[in-house]
Chain A
Amino acid sequence: MIEPKKFWWMIKKELISLKRHPARLVSILAFPIIMILLFGYGMGGEMTDLPIVVVSQSHGDLTDLTLDTIKSTETYHVVEVIDDLDEGKERVDNAEVKAAIILPSDYDDDSSHQKGVTLYLDSSDQMAAQILESSTQGIFYRLSNMVAAQTSVSTKDADIEPSISHSLNNFKDDISLHINRIYGNIKYIDFLVPAILGMTIMMSCMMGMGATIAGERETGELARLFMTPTSVSTVIGGKIAAKLLIELVRALILIFMAVLLFNVSIKGGFLQTFIVLVIGALCFVGFGIMLSARTQTQEDYAQISLPFSMPMMFVSGVFYPIETMPWILQKLAYIFPLTYLNDAMRGVMLKGQTLGDVWFDLVILLGFTVLFFIVGVKRFNRDV
């Protein structure tokens, strides 16, 4: 049975400690901001201003239009427009630029049915290469539409390794593709932020809770409490409540910063997002309690928790969709609670789903929570 007065003391004690340690308070508040900044700007931003050269061997309206379009596209930073093909390739080979867009001499020739444009690409930078490839394809698709049927753009492959030449021909198709984005134009940062919120809550709950329990066990503070006529559930419950309170403040800051810095939209509403985060926080606090139930020192706890927290970070679909991972990691992902938290968070924040829509994720999370608490309290003993 939980005794409210004793329960409240644990919360009060944590709040007093925070009040008397401004540095700790700042750290608690700054941690989510740093996390969101690091991941948001470091991993979630779009690639722009990639340096390229344009090798223009033709002159005319289409060439001018093409150059203007390329220059006005944010993806590129056109270092120079040159007419020497070899120089263009050399600058890519020397890593001065990421790519060379080569417009052939017959590019402006109306009688030419095939216009071979070559994208000479540094494929060693996979991320940049992908962006440049898709962006360039997009530009020439639009251009080919603009000049209509008389302009056929053809490509030829470059024969110098390790460059990649891509055919950009036959843009003008008879098939018209219409893209209907059912959740709107979602950028990578939009995909990332809900999971970053989940991951931050996971890390701080697991680390914080375990460190508190193991730390107090190490310094004997827990022993003093357990020598009093107080149930284990009151002591641990009080600590959970205190931790949860702090984590909820963090969650609020996280959401606020995500909206402020990255203009992330919360389609399912703030309250629902908050509730999902609270359930996630409870689950990971339980995980921390379970792991710390028998650990004697903070160092022990750090060693024990690392094999759980690290794989969870990378396998639970925070950075990449789970479906793109090898099958063994996909299977592994579904035994980690963070996977379900991420799924629910994305459902609510990106798709505008309600708690009812993400009920499966929430039930699994609550199931994990109950399991962790039962195992944790059962394993917990007064022997400190």
Chain B
Amino acid sequence: MKNAIETKNLTKIYNNNFTAVNSLNLEIPNKTIFGMLGPNGAGKTTTIKMLTCLIQPTSGQAVVGGYDVQKNPDEVRKLLGMVPQQVSLYKDLTVMENSQLCADYYGVPVEERDSRIEDLMELVDIKYAKDKRVGQLSGGQKQKASLVASLVHKPDILFLDEPTIGLDPTTKRTLWDLIRELNDDGHTIVLCSHDMHEVDMLCDNVGIINTGNLVAYDTPQGLKDALLESNKQEFSEALSTISNENEDSMQVNDDFSNLSLKKMSILLKEQDEAIIDSIKRSSDVKSIEIARNGRINLRIDGFDDMAVQNVLNKIISSGGIIKSIYTEEPSLEDVFIKSTSKVSEDDRA
């Protein structure tokens, strides 16, 4: 089996005619970590609910672990584990009791049950709290307890929904290590997170869902490279327009191949309040910050070449001479914003 999860034209339309997922085609290779990204309301939760057999698709097909979610839901359920964002263990039961309950609900043989739970507790380092009630645990401990309960039946595929939200940096790293270990052990992991750094670090592949569609899918580096390429082209076009108009007025010291339009840092030959004011007044500039060394750090609102062109034109028309431009390499966050904003604009159009 090549893919742990495959969807073909998977669609969910709710009773109020709201299309939450629209012909989603997705492939998640076996034994990989897949990052599912998307803004709030994009359709991630609905997709997960269909994949975990909590709701029925309206049309299309979803195959999980080789089983059709509509035809063999119980077979699918046996293969899945889920660590939800909100810890959903019974607060009055201990970590051990919650794990036993889950094991029995998954049909784990009694003779294996407790030893398996103990092993998992050791793996996630929560054994010391096994007789504590879940309601008495800290946020990190609860997530670990939730992991034990979700892994007790040795699921092939593990869904993690914002597993590190609200956790301190140390606990977060411990969980990251654990996720890698689980993946090394052969678990396919679907990670839903808004922490771009987390997704960038952990995931083999990333899919960005927006308004019920898959709008981007690649490795994290592949997505960033594609954005860089797109930006480079847009920036070159913007720059050539400006250069043709006022060729002598600017110097660009940086390598163009590293340019991104999202964040720009500009150093003027002579800084002038009037120039700064004209930049601040530009509707394309989202934020401006003057560094101690005189650099003007800008965040451009949007990626279209006109926005950059407008900002550079403002500087030049105010008499500014650009000494240098630094830019930052696009991050996964940039990819996310560009992917989701583009679709939103298309939708509005």
Cβ-defined contact, A230 with B90, below 8 A:
no
B178 CB-CB contact with A under 8 Å: no
Chain A positions within 8 Å of B84 at CB level: 220, 223-224
Cβ-defined contact, B101 with A13, below 8 A:
yes
The size of the chain B interface, using a CB distance under 8 A, is 28
Interface positions, chain B 47-74, Cβ under 8 Å from A, are 49, 52-55, 74
Given A6, A9, A16, A223, which contacts B54 in the complex, CB threshold below 8 Å? A223
Cβ-defined contact, A228 with B77, below 8 A:
yes
Bound complex: CA of A121 vs CA of B53, how far in Å? 73
Least CB distance from A200 to B in Å reads 25
Cβ-defined contact, B104 with A9, below 8 A:
yes
Known interface pairs A224-B82, A227-B77, A227-B82. Does A20 touch B104 (Cβ–Cβ under 8 Å)? no
Main secondary structure of the interface of A (DSSP, over half): helix
A229 CB-CB contact with B under 8 Å: yes
B97 CB-CB contact with A under 8 Å: yes
Least CB distance from B296 to A in Å reads 48
Cβ-defined contact, A383 with B54, below 8 A:
yes
A178 CB-CB contact with B under 8 Å: no
Cβ-defined contact, B107 with A229, below 8 A:
yes
Least CB distance from B182 to A in Å reads 18
How many residue pairs link A and B with beta carbons under 8 A? The number is 65
Bound complex: CA of A381 vs CA of B54, how far in Å? 8
Least CB distance from A223 to B in Å reads 6
A384 CB-CB contact with B under 8 Å: yes
Bound complex: CA of A230 vs CA of B103, how far in Å? 12
Chain A: CB-nearest residue to B86: A220
Cβ-defined contact, B88 with A221, below 8 A:
yes
Chain A: CB-nearest residue to B74: A229
Bound complex: CA of A104 vs CA of B105, how far in Å? 85
Interface positions, chain A 70-91, Cβ under 8 Å from B, are none
Known interface pairs A16-B97, A227-B52. Does A21 touch B105 (Cβ–Cβ under 8 Å)? no
Chain A positions within 8 Å of B104 at CB level: 5-6, 9
Known interface pairs A9-B104, A20-B133. Does A221 touch B89 (Cβ–Cβ under 8 Å)? yes
Using CB atoms and an 8 Å cutoff, list the residues of chain A in contact with chain B.
Answer: 5-6, 9, 13, 16-17, 20-21, 219-221, 223-230, 381-384
Closest 7 CB pairs of A and B: A220-B88, A228-B105, A17-B92, A229-B74, A229-B77, A383-B55, A224-B88
8 contacts between A and B (CB under 8 A): A9-B101, A9-B105, A16-B97, A220-B84, A220-B86, A224-B102, A228-B102, A381-B55
